[in-house]
Structure 1
Amino acid sequence: MQKQPAIPVSTSPDGRRSAPRYALRLTASGAAADNAFSVCIRSISTTGLAFEADPPLARDVRAEIDLPGLGATAVTVVWQNGNLSGCAFDAPIPASVVSATRLKGYPESGEFAVSAPMILTAERRRWRGTVRLAIAIGAGLGAWALAIGGVAALI
């Protein structure tokens, strides 16, 4: 099933945002000053992202966040409110990385929205590639067996 395109969260009427941002939920890993941590990315654009972390990162902290298709990406925290931190990328990231992150994440709102506990459960239940391959091969062989059995019954 193909995911529906998301509408940008905001482009800010006062012009503070330099790029459209997209709401999502995606768990990722990060590191700051030799401390590894987990984050839940809540929005992303080509110029920055917002994430939840516990404990939260303070303003002006430099960190690295793992992004799909790019890996460890340098960020600087520019604002912090509770567990939510807003970061600016040291250099803008390609739009393809924003798309890859959105495709890996879960929608923040709409028909397919999920809560954070559902994300963690889904991440734990994700099957390895070999299991998915075995299921696909088994399903294909089963379909052929049904087709051959149906033809044999007609003869």
Structure 2
Amino acid sequence: MKLWLSLVLSVLLVGCAMDRHVEYEPIQPDSFPVLTATGIAPLSAQLGNNDEEKMRRAMRAAKLDAYRELAEQVYGQRIQSSSVVDELVLADDNFRAQVDGVIRGARVIRSYPVGDSYITEMELDFRTVWELYQQRPRQRIRKVTYY
């Protein structure tokens, strides 16, 4: 009897299910901020056999430093720290910062040497980021059609 009743209820519930088609439309933000970042790398500390190779390495390091700064602005920093106190005296203190993220659409504004350093200035326009992500946009429901 229980089996028959559960079978009848299952058939009735399945019959109530409707197919539907949902249409989405993208939502454009009201404003698009522009973030800027500056990366700095020392020239003399770079590994290399000559000045040109050290310059190329410093250029790359400065660009990566600027990307790191952009990632910090977009995603934030993860901070981990620990302190050990032994008999009310600070015995050990550790601190670690980490950045993790993907930056798309950034562009180099300026790149130039200053003294013993190489500097790269970058910007990230969120209008460009929004346009890049239109392949997978944030959406809201425009229309639902039930069949």
Structure ranking higher in strand proportion: 2
Does the pair score TM above 0.5? no
Structure ranking higher in helix proportion: 2
Q: TM-score, normalised by structure 2?
A: 0.25
| Rg larger in structure | 2
Q: TM-score, normalised by structure 1?
A: 0.24
Structure number with higher relative contact order (C-alpha < 8 Å, ≥ 6 residues apart):
2
